[in-house]
Every structure is written in C-alpha cells, then in structure tokens.
Amino acid sequence: MKRVRFYDSPVLNIQMPMWRARLVLILLMLGLGAVVVKALYLQGMSKDFLQQQGERRYERTLVLPATRGKIFDRTGEVVLASTIPVRAIWAIPEDAKEASGEQLAQLGKLLEMPVRDIQGRLANEDKNFVYIKRQVSVELADRIKALKIPGIHQQAEVRRFYPEGGMTAHVLGFTNIEDKGIEGVELTFNEELSGTPGSRRVIRDRLGRVVEDVQAVVPPVDGQDLRLSIDAGLQFDAYSALKKGMEEHNAKAAAAIVLDVKTGEVLALVNLPTYDPNHRDDRKGAALRNRAITDTFEPGSIMKPFTVALALDLGKVTTSTKFDTGNGRYRYQGSVISDVSRNGVLDIAGILRRSSNIGMTMISERLTSQEMWTKFTELGFGRAPHTNFPGVASGKLRPWERWRPIERATMAYGYGLSASLLQVAHAYTVFARNGDMVSLTLLKRQGKPTSVQVYKPEDAALIRSMLEAAAGPDGAKLAQVQGYRVAGKSGTARKIVDGRYSTSKYRSSFVGFAPVSDPRIVVAVTLDEPQGGAYYGGRVAAPVFSNIVASSLRRMGVQPDAPFESLVAVGSAGEQE
C-alpha cells in the first residue's frame, strides 16, 4: 500500500498570493498602531480628564466630625445636651435605578417619605451622591441596610440630644442639621463646643466601600464641655411652679428667673410656652421666644422701690417723711392718678406696702428727670445686660430731656419705660446685696464676681426691710414662704393695645428675694394676660414666686430664718397689685 504524506494534500499545495499575506500584515500593524496611539492619547492628552472623572466617581473626602462638647448643669452630674450617633441615607442614582418598586416602597415606609419624593431625588443619574434622608436613627438605618437596595448607602453622622426636652429649651437652644448652634447656649458658645472636624481622602468602589486611603488621615479635635450656672433641680422646680400658675390663670405666656445673689449666676430660666428641641417640627412660632430676656414690658409697681431708694439716697425723703394720698384720686398735670384704695397719710414704707401711685407721684416731684434717668441707667434699664446670651433686649428708657412732669411721675411707678424680666431681676440684686449690683453669668462662675455700687448700703438695707413688709401679711401675703422671711414687690401693668392702654389685658409680675436675714436668691416671675378674673401681681404671680422660693431654698439647703407659726396668713386688706 502506498502511504500518503500530509504535505502531499492538494489543499496544502495551494500557493497563497504574496499580496494577501502583506495585506494581513499591514492590517495587523495598523491595528497595533491604533492601540498604541489610543493608549498614548489616553495616558497623555486625556490623563487629567480621566483622572478627574475617576475621582468624581470613586474618590471621596470623608469628613470626620468632631464630637460636639457636652453641656452640663452646675453640678457637673446632669447632662443637658450631648451628641448621639445617627446615620445619613444616601444614594448613587445610576445604581439605584436597579431597585424595584417594592424596595423603594419599603424604603419610603421606613423613612416616612412618599415614594415619589425618593424617586425625585434619584431622577438625575448624572449625580454620584444624593441624600435621601439625614439624621436617621441607627436602629432604623440597620433595618434599611437589611433591605439591600441597590445604590442605597449610609454614612455616619451625629445629632444633638437634649434629655430635659422643653424644660431647658430656651436656655440651651439647638443646633441645625450640620450640628452648628443656631439658638441659645448652643449658638453663644458654638465655637467652643464645635471643636475642629478631621478629614479622610479615600477611594470608594461602586458599592460605596472604602478601597484605599489617598492621603493621610487628619484626626478631629473634639469640642469643649460646658458647665452652666443652671441647676437642673431648681430649673425643674421653677418650670413646674410656673406651668401650674400659667394653667391656673389661663395666661397667654409666662417666664421666671432665679439668680444667685452671691455670685450673679443664673440658677434657673424658664419660659412658657416652650418646645422640644429634639423635634425639628417643634422649632417654630412663638414657642421659640426666650421671653425672659427678649420680651420687654412696662414693669409697673415693681419699679417703685428703685425710685424710693433714689429719693433716700439723695436725701429728698427720710423714713419719717409723710405724704397725704387723700381718697385715692389725685389730679396731677391735667391727668388723674389713682390708687387701688384710699390710703390717706403714708410714709415711704407705707407707700411701698400699699403700692400707692399717688405717693410715688409726690415723691417724683422731689426728684429731677436727670436724677431718675441716671439712676435707672445705672440699674441697667435702657441698655442690654452684659451677658453672652443672644438676643438680650435693652428695653426702652427715653432721654431725660424729653420727660414731661407727668411722664416723670408715671416712670416713678413703672409706666413709660420697658424692661425685660432679666433686667428687673438683675436690678433687684441691689436690695438683696448691700446696694451693689452683681454681674450676671450663664456659666458656673469660677472666681469672685464683679459688682457696681448703685445705692448706699444703709439705703439698700432700709428698702430691704420695706420690701419685707410689702410681702408680708399687710402686703402681697401670697408671696410668703413657710419658715423663711421673704421680701419683694408685685406689679400689675396694663398692656398697650392699638396704641392705648387696655382695660382687659395685663402683665402680672412679682420680684423678690429670700431669706431676708441673708439673701441667697432673687426670683422674678411674670404672667402675660392672665384670665379668669384675677390679674393683680399679688394674686397671680406672688404664689408662683412663693413656690419657687420654697423649693429652691430647700434644695440649696438654706436654713430657715423665721418661725413657721409666724408665717400663717391672717385676714388682711393687704396689697392687691
């Protein structure tokens, strides 16, 4: 048998034309050249563009937030504001288009968002990062993560938490979604509390996972902790007493302040109505107003002690000077000034105890407008208190050159000027101390406070004894406190409505201090537009003052300075105002 060799095959014996071989070689060379040119183009001319596109899609600068400092009460044991971890839910729109309608519906249900809102955020597929919702609790974020929705990712955030809720809302304020203070202490001390955030430059994959660090990590510097002058216990007591008084008299609003006489520290500051700073939907409307420091009003009779003290200080009156207030109606400068009742002849102590407007008018005749304006200015009226609190009001005290005699008279008993409750409480420290007014602070004071001498110590002592009588059985007896001697003055001022004094809307106030033997606290209370019949400060605000003083002194461990039996109220035609 003849063997056939493979190269004897007729197919293999066919000779290919040389031009075809050359054509194939040329095509291969052109293809290789095109690849080389494209590579050179991409690596050379388009390098910056491609890097930018890569960075835009996968490189991220992660902000490493600094932990905002905590805010404590004066004891350092009660946390008033702290930072808790939360998460932000974000998405890559291009990846999220693979999510099913059922998955988006589940996401919307968990986030309490309409599905159309989520779809609207995912509509622009050119974006590589969009927030779906921020400040989501860790527990809820874990439930969302379990859904495994394509393109939906999470990142760590922080949120401010206020354990005491509305009780301390107007003191602390709140932060925005970026954790920056925008109200209250959070705003005033934002720089100290914030610290300095760090940063981390990383590359992420399409699933949002960190692949590698591009630059060295810059660590954050946490914010400082703050220790306020506020006492959480006293704040609670003041809040409870004020809320009870406001509800009892159906008042439109109310405020209360407790000051430490020795140090000038603000121990409690309460406003009603209030809001819960933990709920963003509550942060709106009139509830945000810190009425104790931003709202001003005509003080009314609580201004009378300052005028009497000025007359004593200048030697224009003495404790034995008498004034005939007549039958309760006095025509002066074309106007009629009236008292609540007929008081007849009164000395200056009687004028304060009976809260006589006529008596104050007669005292004002012995003073000049400049003398009164100068003293009121020294007391802080007409100028903002020296505190770091935002929004403090300066009130209104017109230049003395423009005062007419009738205006000098009305200012003597608290009309024609305006002040905040903080200003009034601050001014009353001159009677609780030796005629000097102590500086205020919202932070726990470390050193000795400064003060300004306003009245002679002996004159301050005389007014102190008169104010004790004004808060006694023959005065605003509802201000008394079992076991403690208290001193103070009520005020009832008509509100101005449409440019005229209303006959149905009042501001009822009481300001005083205790214990008289060695004053420790000044307490100021005001209720706006009480309803239900009673509106005199001695009836409406005095009981709130009494409750706050009683609870505060007991919490502070202040020893009683009066026999309990001596404070039992007896029937008296005492001061109503």
Q: What are phi and psi of 443, to 5 degrees?
A: -105, 150
- 48-62 b/e with 16+ CB inside 10 Å = b? eeeeeeeeebeebeb
- Of 379, 396, 369, 391, nearest to 297 by C-alpha is 396
d(CA 144, CA 137): 11
Half-sphere exposure of 100 (CA within 13 A, CB side): 5
Asked if residues 134 and 177 have their Cβ atoms less than 8 Å apart, the reply is yes
Q: How far apart are CA 414 and CA 304, in angstroms?
A: 7
Q: Are 202 and 60 in contact (CB under 8 A)?
A: yes
User: Which among 557, 552, 554, 525 has a CA at the least distance from the CA of 246?
Assistant: 525
CA 122 to chain centroid: 37
Q: How many CB atoms lie within 10 A of CB 225?
A: 15
CA distances from 331 to 37, 176, 326, 336 (A): 106, 57, 11, 4
**Residue 355 a catalytic site member:** no
For Cα atoms 10, 16, 17, give the angle at the middle one, nearest 5 degrees. Answer: 145
What string of H, E and C letters represents the secondary structure of 57-113?
HHEEEEEECCCCCCEECCCCCCEEEEEEEEEEEEECHHHHCCCCHHHHHHHHHHHCC
DSSP 303-356: GHHHHHHHHHHTTS--TT-EEE-TTSEEEETTEEEE-SS---EEEHHHHHHHT-
User: Which of 489, 467, 492, 471 is closest to 480 using CA atoms?
Assistant: 471
What span, in angstroms and rounded, lies between the C-alpha atoms of 267 and 555? 12
Contact present, 264 and 385 (Cβ < 8 Å): no
Cα Rg, the chain, nearest whole Å: 38
The total number of residues written for the chain in this structure:
577
Q: Are 261 and 511 in contact (CB under 8 A)?
A: no
46, 199, 240, 301: which one is catalytic? 301
Q: Are strands 198-204 and 210-213 parallel, antiparallel or unpaired?
A: antiparallel
Amino acid at 305: P
What secondary structure, in 3-state letters, does 166-190 show? HHHHHHHCCECCCCCECCHHHHHCH
Strand partners, 160: 83
Hey, CA dihedral for 47, 48, 49, 51, is it positive or negative?
A: positive
* DSSP, res 254: E
Adjacent-strand bridge partners of 202: 60, 213
**Among all residues, which ones are annotated catalytic?**
301
